[in-house]
Amino acid sequence: MGSNQYHEPPEELSAETRTFARMCAGLSEEAEAIGWYVQRISVEPDEQAKAIMEDSLGEEFKHFSMELEFLLRKTPKWREIAQGILFTEGDIVDHGEAAEEAAS
């Protein structure tokens, strides 16, 4: 098993921490895949190929969202901050500062 996602010796980490690290790595990989699909779609001239890529992009968004939700469920303070930022109107940075300050 690869361990390049760990910054500490894996054998010293709890199973919960290793799972958390794997999910963080997965979230990053999904975000990267989303970026790749957006680029591919923006230059693809074939409409059928583009439709397939757009369908794949939807799958990547789904996976990203599921992994994010898993991580938020495991980290209540992170969820609390995210709730102050996500799906809001107005200045994102202002919401972020207020949410971080209000988090318990």
For 6-50, write each residue's pLDDT tens digit. 889 999 999 999 999 999 999 999 999 999 999 999 999 999 999
Query: Do residues 73 and 79 lie in contact, with contact meaning Cβ atoms separated by under 8 Å?
Result: yes
Whose structure tokens read 């200045």?
91
- Give the count of beta carbons closer than 10 Å to the beta carbon of residue 87: 6
Query: Per residue in 81-97, pLDDT tens?
Result: 999 999 999 999 999 99
Is this model's pTM higher than 0.75 or not? yes
Phi and psi based region of residue 87 (left: phi greater than 0; alpha: psi -120 to 50; beta: remaining):
left
Query: Do residues 60 and 30 lie in contact, with contact meaning Cβ atoms separated by under 8 Å?
Result: yes
Task: Report which DSSP code applies to 42.
Answer: H
